[in-house]
Amino acid sequence: DAGVTQSPTHLIKTRGQQVTLRCSPKSGHDTVSWYQQALGQGPQFIFQYYEEEERQRGNFPDRFSGHQFPNYSSELNVNALLLGDSALYLCASSQKGQLYGYTFGSGTRLTVV
């Protein structure tokens, strides 16, 4: 039973560019949450998707946007990249309405140069 799959594992982008990160949730899960973890810090909540809509959002600018597909997979898009966007981006999946059983992926390491 596959867990949460994220792609790519590593990515290097230039300041000002746009990036798309992808997440496939664990089998049986329909809710995807995204977190940003800067070096040496704990993860910070970006947003959560279920039923193909953004349901909750953390304190991140509109440059961060997302999408959820009918198969529950999700994308995180970041526009106009800044050096400060360099981080490990983690995806977590769960079942809608269940307040436990979150599973985290291994993350995508984004470096902005």
Partner 1 sequence: KQEVTQIPAALSVPEGENLVLNCSFTDSAIYNLQWFRQDPGKGLTSLLLIQSSQREQTSGRLNASLDKSSGRSTLYIAASQPGDSATYLCAVFLGNYGQNFVFGPGTRLSVLP
Taking CB under 8 A as the binding criterion, the range among 12-20, 64-72, 76-84, 105-113 that sits at the site for partner 1 is: 105-113
CB burial readout 36-53, b (16+ within 10 A) else e:
beeeeeebeebbbbbeee
In the complex with partner 1, the residue whose CB is nearer, 18 or 41, is 41
Q: Mark 12-51 with x for binding to partner 1 (rule: CB under 8 A) and - for no binding.
A: ---------------------x-x----xxxxxx--x---
Indicate the DSSP class of residue 14. Answer: -
Count of C-beta atoms within a 10 Å radius of residue 102: 15
Site membership for partner 1, residue 111 (CB under 8 A): no
Query: Residue 34 and residue 15: Cα distance in Å, rounded?
Result: 21
How far apart are alpha carbons 5 and 2 in whole angstroms? Answer: 8
How many residues of this chain bind partner 1 (CB under 8 A)?
24
60 binding partner 1? (CB under 8 A)? no
Q: Which residues contact partner 1 (rule: CB under 8 A)?
A: 4, 33, 35, 40-45, 48, 55-56, 58, 88, 90, 92, 99-100, 102, 104-107, 109
